[in-house]
Amino acid sequence: MFKRIVAGFDGSPESEHALRLACDLAQKYNAEIYLVHTPQPQTVAFAMGAVAGYHAVTTLPSPEEVEKASDKMVKSAEAIASENDVKITRAQTERGDPAEQIIACAEACDADLIVTGRRGLGSLGSLLQGSTTQSVNHHATCACLSVV
């Protein structure tokens, strides 16, 4: 039924849950997992602000810090997949609009399913501009599963 599954991942608990579900489906259907993490400087600043001594409010992270945080996110996602006996076929970490990146990946790999968390680290911004998941569900040409 599913041969290629795209999973959006931002490191939030919701995206971790979505990835675990995508891995479960991948196991059941012998499907490939394509991971999409779209690094956002504001999100990296928020995450780094949890570390004592970092002034996330006054300083956005450098491009190097964003890349380092993105690599850390991919490693975290790979660990989750490994725990579920699944290997991520490809991880995409390009900057841009997360919904557009997820949809582009799904189109490029001819995905059967996109799995995203219903809410992620962009929850505050979604109040003003609409969530990534809503946009993916509206514009994707394959099945979408939003995970609570």
Each domain of the chain, given as residue ranges in start order, spans 4-147
pTM of the model: 0.84
Amino acid 65: pLDDT: 86
Architecture of domain 4-147: 3-Layer(aba) Sandwich (3.40)
What per-residue confidence (pLDDT) applies to 45?
Answer: 53
Measure CA 9 to chain center. 2
Residue 15 has pLDDT above 80, yes or no: yes
Tell me the pLDDT tens digit for each residue of 96-130.
Answer: 999 999 999 999 999 999 999 986 555 444 443 34
Q: State the sign of the Cα–Cα–Cα–Cα dihedral 74, 126, 61, 45.
A: negative
Locate the DSSP E strands across the chain.
4-8, 32-36, 88-92, 113-117, 143-147
Residue 5 in contact with residue 115, Cβ under 8 Å? yes
102, 18 contact by CB (below 8 A): no
Provide the percentage of residues in the chain whose pLDDT is more than 70: 80
Residue pLDDT, tens place only, 37-46: 998 776 665 5
Residue 55 confidence (pLDDT) above 90:
no
Which whole number is the average pLDDT over 43-53? 53
Instruction: Let me know how many helices (H) and strands (E) the chain has, helices first.
Output: 6, 5
Q: Tell me, what's the pLDDT at 48?
A: 54
Q: Tell me the average pLDDT of the chain.
A: 85
Q: Which of 72, 70, 1, 13 is nearest to 37 (CA)?
A: 70
Q: Is a pLDDT exceeding 60 seen at residue 47?
A: no
Residues 79-91: pLDDT tens digits?
Answer: 999 999 999 999 9
